[in-house]
Each structure stands twice: as C-alpha cells, then as structure tokens.
Amino acid sequence: MGFHELHHGDHPLVLPNAWDFASGAALVKAGFPAIGTTSLGVAAAAGKTDATGGTREETLALARVLARLPVPVTVDIEGGFSARAEDVAALVAELASLGIAGVNLEDGRADGTLAPVAHQTAVIAAVKEAAPAVFLNARTDTFWLGDPDRDETLLRARAFAEAGADGIFVPGIVDDADIRAVLDTADVPLNVLYLPGRTEYARMDRLGVHRVSTGSLLFRSALQATVNAALGVTGDGGGHPAPSYGDVQRLVRP
C-alpha cells in the first residue's frame, strides 16, 4: 500500500520515528508499514540542537540509507533548512529522487515564533510543484509553542491544505473539540503526536485522526534504556527516567 493510502485506512496509521538505519530497520521488522524520522534524534546524534536548521546534511544522509527500507519513509525536514521557497522545494525534490515518500515541514522558527502564513503557503506550493508525489505533512506549531490558539490553528490548517499540503500535523493538540475542529476544517488527513496519557490511540481512532506519530519518544526512551543498562552492570542504579525534549537539547547544547 502506498504512503498516501496508508492515511485512509480503517484505523490511524501509527508512524514510529527513527533516528538511524538500525532503529528504522528494527521498526520495519516489528511490522510497522511506514517509518518517519525524528529531527531531535537526528540532531542529537550529531551533537547538534534540534529545530535550528543545522542538520540538512545529516538529514539527507539518513534519508539515503533509510530509502533502502522496504516500506515508505517520511523525513522530518524541520522548516526546510532555508527561508527561500525554492531551496526547500529543491531539497524535497532531491529527497523524492532518493525514493523518500513524504516530508514534515513545520512553520515554527528557532526563536519561538511562527512563519507568516503567506510565506509558509508559498513554500508549500513550491514543494508540491517540485515534488508532487511526495506526501507533504504541513506542521503548525500553534499548540506546540505552549500557548494553544485554536483559531490560528484552523486558519493555518485551511491555508496549508489549500496551498497543496497532503496532511496537517498539529503537535501538542489534545482535546477532543480542538481535534474535531481541525478535522472539520482542513479536509486532509490529520496527524497527532502521541503523548503518553494524553493522546491515547483508541481515542484518536474514535475521533477520526488519520496518523499518530511518536516524535522523539522512541529516541528518548532509547537514551533511558542505554543509561539504565550501563548503570545496571554493577547492580546499582536503574530506574533512570527518560530525558525530556529539553533535557536532550541541553545535553548537546554547546
């Protein structure tokens, strides 16, 4: 089944996010029908901070090896690693030439602001013209930045869909009413971030969400397991908590 079709099944597509070839291959072996990447994992593995636009080459390098997997792969390209629409479009076209099936493209900026709607729709339109077969998951950070704004979310969801986005991703959205509003407004598949205890899969299924992705959860859980395994060598330690997103950012920040 193609990547676009996976968003229209009887239940939401569970999209686990890998950070290297081994994690991606292990997830495929476990039976997942598609794999995404986590920009935090890619950045942290390279000793860089996430969401600052500094991992273009690492992202491309990972895409080249993940394209070997026998399932569709979608790549998180943050904000496209450029403010120029033509540069972002060229990057996605290059990813398409490697066999990548989709991209996540976000409107959040490193300074905590959102890209202007007109700019983001121009980028989306340019990407779809350059790589029409790639599933463009347009992410808006209206909830992720910590001050949820439903009206702004709906405005952006509608504008991004009209510009050609194949799906809308609203990380941080949790409440039923907010999710239903986006579903009713965008008229394209909705991607929700899995937040333990807050966006349970069964509830997302009942609401009609099309895709549930894990974001950095698997990478952070792997760090937790690594530390606990090392501490457990002597029989001491263990029970080390999983690092938060901010914890990982601080680990690699110069």
The encoded tokens of residue 147 equal 């001050």
* pLDDT at site 27: 98
Q: What is the pLDDT of residues 107-124, one digit of tens each?
A: 999 999 999 999 999 999
Q: Give the residues of the chain that fall short of pLDDT 70.
A: none
- Which among 51, 34, 32 is positioned nearest to 43, based on CA atoms? 51
Q: How confident is the model at residue 235, as a pLDDT?
A: 85
What is the model's pLDDT at position 239? 86
Coil, strand or helix at 14? strand
Look at residue 217 in the predicted model and tell me its pLDDT.
98
Which two structure tokens, joined as six digits, stand for 186? 């965008």
Determine the pLDDT at residue 220: 98
Could you tell me which residues are beta bridge partners of residue 36?
Answer: 17, 74
pTM for the full model?
0.97
For the stretch 18-21, contacts whose Cβ atoms lie closer than 8 Å and that sit 24 or more positions apart, written own/partner, are: 18/66, 18/218, 19/44, 19/45, 19/62, 19/218, 19/219, 20/45, 20/62, 21/62, 21/65, 21/66, 21/68
Hey, what are 69's tokens?
């997997």
Distance of alpha carbon 89 from alpha carbon 80, whole angstroms: 8
